[in-house]
Copies of this chain bind each other. A is one copy, B any other.
Amino acid sequence: MKIGIVGGTGDIGEGMAMRLSPIFEVIVGSRETEKAELTCKLGSETLKKRGLTCSLTGVSNQSAIDDADVVILAIPFKHLASTLETLHGFDGKTVISPVNPMEKRDFFTSVPPDDGSAALMIKRLLPKDAKICTAFNTIAANKWKALDEELSYSVPVCGDDADAKDEVMGIVNKVSKLQAFDAGPLAASCMVESLTPLLLNIARYNKMRDVGIQFR
């Protein structure tokens, strides 16, 4: 399976690429192709030193969509709409949103767009036959990058297309010790997207780092 990461050289995207590329064919997209190529070169070397074989290709964001079966939008919420405006080719594809619309005021707070959630906004902006799912919303960039640590977390997955949701939950369950949970339709994604600001508050007020979540 080919997984394209739009924003694959960003904080979250880079760690994701490292974790996913020993399991899937990973296509790292960036606004600057050279940056994507460099990220993939360095990433491949790091993984090779650990005795891991990987498939990591650096391309433009557009090529990461065109060449992939499943696309992950690793983009901060504030750049989401403007980035999607410049891209096409999502038709019929499974699209994963780990995006959390939030702000840091005195504390971190969820600031959903008028659509209700980032995932619902993406659904409105992309072609009707793109299959949007939320996943990976609560996995911090540092956790993705800490390759020595297992990711023993729960991952809620929302989506309206049952087959795409199964596919995404299958991807989640192959990564480290992540465990996917069906969290309902995309209309329920606002509750998933508000987890990350809550976890950031808990980290801050309890002097913890990169707090994750488990359902049990």
Residues of A within 8 A of B (CB): 106-110, 152-153, 156, 181-185, 187-188, 190-192, 194-195, 197-199, 201-202, 204-206, 208, 211-216
Contacts and interface: CB of A to CB of B under 8 A. Distances in A.
B182 A191 contact: no
Contacts of A110: 190-191
Interface-central residue, A153, A156, A198, by most chain B CB under 10 Å: A198
A215 B215 contact: no
Q: Is the interface of A mostly helix, strand, loop or mixed?
A: mixed
Nearest to A211: B215
Interface-central residue, A107, A191, A211, by most chain B CB under 10 Å: A191
A70 to B, nearest CB: 21
A191 B201 contact: yes
A182 B201 CA distance: 8
A16 B191 CA distance: 26
20 contacts: A106-B187, A107-B184, A181-B205, A181-B206, A182-B202, A183-B201, A183-B205, A184-B201, A184-B205, A188-B198, A188-B201, A190-B194, A191-B194, A191-B197, A191-B201, A195-B198, A212-B215, A212-B216, A213-B214, A213-B216
